[in-house]
A and B are shown apart, each in its own frame.
Chain A
Amino acid sequence: MQTTNNVALLSEKQFDEQGSRQRCLQMRRRILEVSQMVPALHIGGSFSCLEMVESIYSHCLRKVSGNFHDTFIISKGHGCLAQYVNLEHYGILPKSALDLFCKPDGVLGTHPDLGIPGVEASTGALGHGLGIGMGMANADKILGADRNVYVVISDGELQEGSIWENILLAPALKLNRLVVLADLNDFQSLARMSETHPNFYPLIDKIKAFGWECKEVNGHNAKSIFDAIANRSGEAPFFVACKTVKGKGVAFMENQPIWHFRSPNIQEYERALQELVEVYE
């Protein structure tokens, strides 16, 4: 079985915790650097999913001839900086690309577009990336392609009806190479999800009831995320419920809705850099 072999392959890997932590520090710094070029970007949601995205790029995606062979889609497209800093780190995007963030001469902006190196689907409107990822996984099944599809969604996105259409459909199509990671930072743009939609929790029971294999992890512990993925059975689509903190890493940004989209001013930027050093030391 291709699936079982692939899962086994991952579970034999050793997770480099120290390296992952260092990369996440550097990537948060880089995102802060980029924040100084634009008046608005989605820093809070990028920080909340950074360990999720980093663990996928560093340990889950297989490379063939220098390119990633498996597919990664950030369905919560506003968190694309978390993907861009990874693509930059692995040399898929040149440094100049992020240096031209949101500039007319550049290609990168606040949502990912198909055609950008390393971006496999245009997202930005919530509730789209999962369906596209499922179509890819279904085509892979039909064509006999050996690929895994990883999709990052958000808890706000889980309010979209299209997500639930797809949660219901994926096990029926036996898309067992599909891994969905949910960034559960409990914040939408305006308010806490637990306040606007109190019946959203417990989430994992709902997903399980739809026929998925599920695992709940600390979304800022990259090794836990990897371990969950590596130890899945491969007999159903896999859902990793990642408990996260919006704005993670910079205390004054954490759990504050304003940092959904605001860029820090120069004083806040310097303070944020200092806080990162303290957190990581």
Chain B
Amino acid sequence: MEMKYKSENRQLTITLTGELDHHAAKGLMEAIDRCMEQNLPVKTLLDLGGLTFMDSSGIAVVLRAKRRMEALAGALVVVNIPRQAARVLETAGLDRYVDLI
């Protein structure tokens, strides 16, 4: 699991690559928290295009990122969602709470 980010004009783009499971989730959540605290974005794009696998741990990661953005009075948008990850997010009904593109 690899995370990269760039921040421009208080828009943060976080790009994930690899497999997102319980083994990777805790460290990833902490890394996203630190990234948001350092950059104080008003909008965060969470780019899942590089994920080769995601289980329900990804739901927890997305929901925590959303809560962090709400605490900053900002917005979270999840983009480039691979088919397998989309099936997991749809099964959880996450499209009702988070912008999934």
Are A and B co-members of a single complex?
Answer: no
Chain A interfacial positions (CB closer than 8 Å to B): none
